[in-house]
Structure 1
Amino acid sequence: MTTAAATRRRYGLALGSLLVALTASACGAGVASVVEGSSPKPQAMAAAQGACKTPEVPAGLSTQHVMSGDLRRTVVVYYPHGRMPGKPIPMVLDLHGSGSTPLQQISGSNIAATADKHGFAVVAPQAGIPFIAGKSHGFAWNVPGVPLMNGRPVPSGAPNDVQFIRDTIATMSKSLCADQKRIYVTGFSGGARMASQIGCELSTEVAAIAPMSGLRLPTNCKLNRPQSVLSFHGTSDGTNPYNGSKQLYWSYGVPAAAQRWATADHCGKGVTQQVVNGVMSTTYNGCQGGRQVVLYTVTGQRHSWPGVAGAMAKGYSLPKIDPNEIMWSFFDSHPLDATTT
């Protein structure tokens, strides 16, 4: 086993133990920390950035709650171990796929190890629509104007998940003492579609997005500022096909989605190059406001979070790159513009 693989395995085992402990806590007397109340205004949070107190969450995993509308919504948080209080912390929202849960997303994306290494907090909200995908019983996002993955319309009265994400950013920013210039959003599949929506609608609050296996540009997207976008997508994806499909929730292909974002950001022409064997990157530079759009195309990758075991179709090996490291490097190099805070 390589050093990198051994490290990932150790983090996987540690996270697995934490998941078991958290699940047991949720079934008990409610020992998880809870955050409730009205959402603070971003201006007030920005003014308080110079005096960060001890975060209101423990290190590692915890379940939090955010009031959105009249609903008490669930959010799972991973706060990095060894992080010293007193300085604002970057915050990454990690949105689960259709039929999944926040715990499954944190585990499946292997993001906790990356958070510990680089010192950022992970916030994984729970979508508002109960949803079954195969054997998985979880939740789906209410993406405006987009049907569910099974083709059915969003149920009448479904919660406003865009507002929920907005409320989550506001509430958890206060609880975590988040750096208002370093709030990012990633997500997988349906969570990637939701991350795409958030990147458009909350472009003045979210510094960059990284939709994995589900990049879209929302219909009638009108950016208040250019948005940096990173995405990974596999050519063997049967759920969100790389070159598009006739499914109403999907339609056009991923290269077209990246091009649409590049057009919205007023970028230059895309440049494609090989990163490693089996991985090509298409990069759009020269975007307005120093933004950037990058698409990584992974030959043989299934509908999966990139870089994890089982991600590749038969006959293909995992590429020798670390997508989470690439994602964090992209996020870290794209803070929110000072003029838009």
Structure 2
Amino acid sequence: MTTVAPRRTRAALLLALAAVAVLGACAQPGQVATAIGAPPTPTPQAGGLPATQGGPCPTSEVPTGLSSQGVLSGGQRRPVLVYLPRGRRAGKPIPLVLDLHGSGSTPKQQLESTGITRTADRNGFAVVAPQGGVPFTLGRTHGFAWNVPGVPLVDGKPVPRGAPDDVQYLRDTVETVTKLVCGDSQRVYVTGFSGGARMTSQLGCELSTRVAAIAPVSGLRLPTGCRPTRPVPVVAFHGTADTVNQYNGGKSPTWDYSVPVAAQRWAGADGCAPTPGAQQVEPLVTATTYQGCGGGAQVRLYTISGGKHAWPGTPGSMAKGLTPPRIDPNELMWTFFAAHPLGSTA
């Protein structure tokens, strides 16, 4: 059963925040100007999930801004950061966006690198940043990696025996935080970078009845044996100069086909028309979109020419001599998300 941990003392909170604030290598520098509050005691709710948009909604006890919460999963209390936007309308269910860090990174660094909390303030959605279950060192940095089913770690080593079930943890996170903040159960979305993008792709398959749409960044795959129970809208971002997860595929058995092929495979799984359309968004950015998908879904790939293994638009995200294109991937993905709630047929 999924529950939220009770209120802790200030000392315990500082220890919890220290545990999730380890610096990682898969994120870019940035800032999140928020105050971190103490984990609240949840308000019990009857009947499982709260009502969707327009229904009754109890007042959230989670403070505005960034706070550290706890989720019980697999018998462990696991950390998750939750950001509630400024100016939230009380009593109205709020959309949730899960933001999954890359291998060797942390929830805090993922929020800082993506700048997604600023997007949340502008558009009125909550951000949920969980933490992978595998402690992982990448170079001189120490963070965490995701236990993606059937996929080794980025260094080629197998996931350690006894590693937590991260798919179940993320399922529990969705259920717990939806109840805790009165999230809109029709508008739960997932994005992630690198290893977090691979896990985002996995959740599109395994949580297709709970997750409305996904947005993998530098890591789109169609997992082996993926059988989503509904067409899942997908928007992805990937640079052609990515040397970690190569745009055109690589020799690794876990990265052996190109990103355009991954988009094509998702389009096939979603029942889309076989021939996509292409649009030049900026001089270095092309959007390839598959239309005519089942259930009103779309599959869209933003290709950044000269983009490196990085969140688009951030410092250092382009090959030498190239200026980052004037796109905001957070706004692009949110526009896509907002157009694709669960049950949408448009």
Tell me, yes or no, whether TM beats 0.5.
yes
CA change 1:178–1:120 in 2 (3 A) is: same
Alignment-derived partner of residue 213 in structure 1:
218
Match of 1:335 among 305, 326, 341: 341
Q: CA RMSD in A?
A: 1.9
CA change 1:118–1:200 in 2 (3 A) is: same
Contact 1:34-1:65 within 8 A present in 2 as well: no
Q: What are the within-5 Å matches in structure 2 for residues 294-333 of structure 1?
A: 294-333=300-339
Alignment-derived partner of residue 294 in structure 2:
288
Alignment-derived partner of residue 133 in structure 1:
138
Letter in 2 for 1:45: L
Moved more, 49-58 or 140-149: 49-58
Deviation for aligned residue 1:85: 1.1
Residue 52 in structure 1 maps to residue 57 in structure 2: yes
Q: Hey, what's the Cα distance between the residues in 2 that align with 1:168 and 1:56?
A: 17
Q: What are the within-5 Å matches in structure 2 for residues 1-341 of structure 1?
A: 15=32, 17-18=33-34, 22=36, 32-33=38-39, 44-47=48-51, 50-268=55-273, 269-337=275-343
Letter in 1 for 2:290: Y
Deviation for aligned residue 1:47: 4.7
SS at structure 2 position matched to 1:243: coil
Deviation for aligned residue 1:255: 0.5
Q: Runs of 4 or more off by more than 3 Å in structure 1? A: 34-38, 46-49
Deviation for aligned residue 1:263: 0.3
Deviation for aligned residue 1:133: 1.3
Alignment-derived partner of residue 10 in structure 2:
none
CA change 1:194–1:37 in 2 (3 A) is: farther
Q: Hey, what's the Cα distance between the residues in 1 that align with 2:70 and 2:40?
A: 5
Contact 1:36-1:67 within 8 A present in 2 as well: no
Return 5+ residue gaps in structure 2 as ranges: 1-29
Moved more, 133-142 or 144-153: 133-142
Q: Hey, what's the Cα distance between the residues in 2 that align with 1:152 and 1:118?
A: 40
Letter in 1 for 2:282: V
Contact 2:197-2:217 within 8 A present in 1 as well: yes
Contact 1:231-1:296 within 8 A present in 2 as well: yes
Deviation for aligned residue 1:146: 0.5
Q: Hey, what's the Cα distance between the residues in 2 that align with 1:37 and 1:322?
A: 36
Q: Hey, what's the Cα distance between the residues in 1 that align with 2:43 and 2:226?
A: 31
Contact 1:37-1:67 within 8 A present in 2 as well: no
Deviation for aligned residue 1:248: 3.2
CA change 1:35–1:188 in 2 (3 A) is: farther
Letter in 2 for 1:174: K
Q: Hey, what's the Cα distance between the residues in 2 that align with 1:135 and 1:284?
A: 41
Deviation for aligned residue 1:324: 0.9
Q: C-alpha deviations, 1:196-234, integer Å up to 9, x for none?
A: 000110001100000001001110001100000000000
Return 5+ residue gaps in structure 1 as ranges: 1-11, 23-30
Q: Hey, what's the Cα distance between the residues in 2 that align with 1:337 and 1:74?
A: 31
TM-score by length of 2: 0.87
Deviation for aligned residue 1:48: 7.6
Q: Hey, what's the Cα distance between the residues in 1 that align with 2:91 and 2:51?
A: 15
Deviation for aligned residue 1:171: 0.3
Q: Which has the higher helix share?
A: 1
Q: C-alpha deviations, 1:138-194, integer Å up to 9, x for none?
A: 000000000100000111000000000000000000011001110000000000000
Letter in 1 for 2:83: Y
Q: Hey, what's the Cα distance between the residues in 2 that align with 1:119 and 1:231?
A: 22
TM-score by length of 1: 0.88
Q: C-alpha deviations, 1:299-340, integer Å up to 9, x for none?
A: 11110011112111101111121111101000000000179x
Q: Hey, what's the Cα distance between the residues in 2 that align with 1:167 and 1:186?
A: 17
Q: Hey, what's the Cα distance between the residues in 1 that align with 2:148 and 2:108?
A: 21
Contact 1:36-1:66 within 8 A present in 2 as well: no
Deviation for aligned residue 1:250: 2.0
Sequence identity (%): 60
Contact 1:129-1:141 within 8 A present in 2 as well: yes
Contact 2:52-2:186 within 8 A present in 1 as well: no
CA change 1:143–1:34 in 2 (3 A) is: farther
Q: Hey, what's the Cα distance between the residues in 2 that align with 1:44 and 1:107?
A: 32
